[in-house]
Amino acid sequence: MASSTDPEKLIAKADKLTKLTLTRWSADWRNATEYYEQAATAFRFAKKHEKAKVAFEKASKGQEMLASYPFMLKLSLPFYKESFMFTIV
């Protein structure tokens, strides 16, 4: 996605995408996560392991944010109903 390979610039772009502003009311975690992963890989190749670790942690946070809670709830609801029915009977 990013034409630039400077990991510091990629981190800055990703951080900008996760901040809410007056014109952007929701964070763009999909693109930000991709930028964080690219930055982490670039840091790792540059042997800057501490910065790579931080970038991978931010990418991990992005992956958590992408796993939308309502979707997971919708998938687990039938199992919850079944287990609830068995405990009542």
- Sequence ranges of the domains in the chain: 7-88
The pLDDT profile of the chain, 89 residues, written as one tens digit per residue, is 445 689 999 999 999 999 998 888 888 999 999 999 999 999 999 999 999 999 999 999 998 888 855 555 555 555 545 444 445 54
User: How high is the pLDDT of residue 36?
Assistant: 96
Task: Note the pLDDT of residue 2.
Answer: 47
What own/partner pairs with CB < 8 Å and gap ≥ 24 does 19-27 have? 27/65
Which pLDDT belongs to residue 35?
96
Determine which helix (DSSP H) or strand (DSSP E) holds 24, and give its type and residue range. Answer: none
Backbone CA torsion sign across 6, 23, 29, 16: positive
